[in-house]
A and B are shown apart, each in its own frame.
Chain A
């Protein structure tokens, strides 16, 4: 069983649509990170959230850390083909980060 669950597993949408992907756990994390990974490359960090209830915005991306620090969401407004990729969340426990299985997003032009 995964310590971190992500949903949906796959998502295919048209350019211009909005979407939200979720990262859930029964564990409490001291911080949580979101990464985007493109084929043949390593993950690239998008954001780190630390405080329960924290909301961070990065252009069209909005990240929220749950009040109990067990879950997080990533909302993308007006998705573009360049947003296509694998979105991974990673929760910090002690000195290590535990990664979820990812949401594979495809934005069609």
Chain B
């Protein structure tokens, strides 16, 4: 079956604009994660969705960042009033159950550049 897909693959925006990044997880996976990867840094955890439970938003860096997961499937990460420091690769991952020892399958990422 298809893996995790993300769109767009690249996004260039101007400082102050809002952006939406989309993630389509693997069908049947109940857990979905968003990470941010900056040059020379590891993956920074942003948010975690598990089924119908309230999401773990503990990694969101500011209130300009938000995410939704509709119908337990597709997720959208929204960044409002983008800043240059938001430039990074945003990665989405899904897993069958949860983060215990389950395998996370990553999408190819969206490279965001804020000018």
Contact = CB atoms under 8 A, between A and B. Distances in A.
A39 to B, nearest CB: 10
Judged by DSSP, the binding face of A is: loop
Interface residues of B, number: 25
B101 A31 contact: yes
A1 interface: no
B1 interface: no
Contacts, number: 59
Interface in A18-50: 31, 40-45, 48, 50
Contacts of B45: 96-99
Contacts of B58: 96
Interface of B: 4, 35, 40-45, 48, 56, 58-59, 91, 93, 98-101, 103-109
